[in-house]
Amino acid sequence: MKKIGNSVMAIPFGILFIIVGVFILAWNEGNNVKNIKTTNEALKEYINVNSDAVDSSNEGKLVATNGTLTLLGNDIVDNEFNVKMKTAKLVRKVEMYQWKEEEKTDENDNTIKTYKRLWSEDLISSASYEGGYVNPENMPYENRSYIANNVKIGAFSLTDNQIDQLTTPNIINLQNDTVIPTGYHIINNYITNTENLDNPEVGDVRISFLYNDDKEVSVLAVQQNDTFSTYRSESGGEINRIEPGTYNGAEMIAHIQNEDKVNKWLFRGVGLVLIILGFSAVLGPISAVTSFVPVFGRLVGNVIGLISTLLGLCLSLLIIAIFWFAFRPLLSIILLALVFGLIFLISNIVKKNKNNLMPANNQAMPNPNNIVDNQNIPNNLK
């Protein structure tokens, strides 16, 4: 009975999963259509320009340029630790060693909680943890990001937004003049309060400083005087991009398109999985009621799993078709045809298994609390 009760209690969560999955798919498809329109528009409008000089005739146009990253300002300084670097971007990264809870379900639908320790920049709340696993309630220091105030690419000045897009993959070698707080010391370019970074304790902290060292960069944005602003397409999309390396406009737009494709399929997968899990939870009680009869229950469980997957595919394809109808009507028609095909398949599966899903000789389902094998009862007790 516990299994049936758990499956009934899971129905609201299943409905929530379906709603969230639908929202993710709807947002993703709308965003994807907007991105495609934006990049197609950008491909028609961009012009490649030389960064050595600013051409006023390109004012207000979408331009692509590249060149050497030049730092004309002073060193960036983190005054709290006296860490300084000649770079376009400096990041202070603060991590704490903490407990993280993980859950999994065993074959009897029992929830098993396990705990592991890891370094995390975010404070992990342990308020709901069991078994005495406790994390600190605050970080002793904050993450911070610093950008240089005079960064140029050729004759163009980069905006703060563009500088902030730069990555910081390199760790700074800390110098002797670094300010070390009481109780801390330096190990492998980390300011830390642990004695052994390979075997820390929960609550230990490590602080590192990361910086950007790009030499050549490429920009795709609107030219505004001797700097840049964001390009806004008619569909509402935006482009204001900087990336390491030397690329022309077509190559940078291709990079955007590739990133959009990866994100598109990632969110489609997440939405689809949530919807399938949602339908599985909603239909779960049917499988739970029949699970007490081994062969019969296994058959019902398999059919419910298949139907949940097909229903998830139907709903997902329907959402995708709706958002793509105005942009690519032929694709939408094909997707709608697939939806109707899946509905027909689901109907056939239900009809085909209708008889199999009923107990033999129209007998009632056995009471899971009182399953008795009649053949093992002595004749004088029957």
Segment 15-53, tens digit of pLDDT: 899 999 999 999 998 899 899 999 999 999 999 999 999
Question: Above 70 in pLDDT, residue 143?
Answer: yes
Residue 211 near residue 71 (C-beta atoms within 8 A): no
Q: Which letter does DSSP use for residue 382 in this model?
A: -
What count of Cα atoms within 13 Å lies in the side-chain half-sphere of residue 60? Answer: 1
Residue 197, amino acid: L
The percent of residues above 70 in pLDDT, for the chain, comes to 81
Domain ranges of the chain: 2-37+261-362, 49-245
Q: How far apart are CA 42 and CA 221, in angstroms?
A: 10
**Per-residue model confidence as pLDDT tens digits over 339-369:** 677 777 767 766 666 554 444 444 444 454 4
The structure tokens listed for 65 are 């340029």
Q: What is the mean pLDDT of residues 125-133?
A: 91
Average pLDDT, the chain: 85
Mean pLDDT is lowest, of 181-195, 257-271, 320-334, for: 320-334
Question: Above 80 in pLDDT, residue 106?
Answer: no
pLDDT at residue 186 in the model: 96
Q: Which letter does DSSP use for residue 237 in this model?
A: -
pLDDT at residue 316 in the model: 84
Q: How far apart are CA 243 and CA 262, in angstroms?
A: 18
Question: Above 90 in pLDDT, residue 281?
Answer: no
Of 240, 261, 259, nearest in space to 64 by CA: 240
Q: How far apart are CA 305 and CA 355, in angstroms?
A: 18
Torsion of CA 105, 108, 113, 119, to 10 degrees: -30
* DSSP string over 13-69: HHHHHHHHHHHHHHHHHHHHHHHHHHHHHHHHH-EE--TTS--GGGTTSEEEEEEEE
How many other CB atoms are found less than 10 A from the CB of residue 326?
9
Question: Above 70 in pLDDT, residue 76?
Answer: yes
Question: Above 90 in pLDDT, residue 295?
Answer: no
Residue with tokens 């993980």: 102
Reported confidence tier of residue 382, pLDDT bands at 50, 70, 90: very low
pLDDT at residue 378 in the model: 47
- E strands in the chain: 47-48, 62-71, 76-78, 83-85, 89-105, 111-120, 144-147, 151-153, 156-157, 170-171, 185-187, 190-192, 205-211, 216-224, 227-229, 231-232, 238-239, 241-244
Reported confidence tier of residue 288, pLDDT bands at 50, 70, 90: low
**Per-residue model confidence as pLDDT tens digits over 157-201:** 999 999 999 999 999 999 889 999 999 999 999 999 999 999 999
pLDDT at residue 154 in the model: 95
The percent of residues above 90 in pLDDT, for the chain, comes to 61
Higher pLDDT, 162 or 1: 162
Question: Above 50 in pLDDT, residue 114?
Answer: yes
Bridge partners of residue 97, in order along the sequence? 119
Residue 10 near residue 287 (C-beta atoms within 8 A): no
pLDDT at residue 115 in the model: 94
Mean pLDDT is lowest, of 144-158, 276-290, 305-319, 338-352, for: 338-352
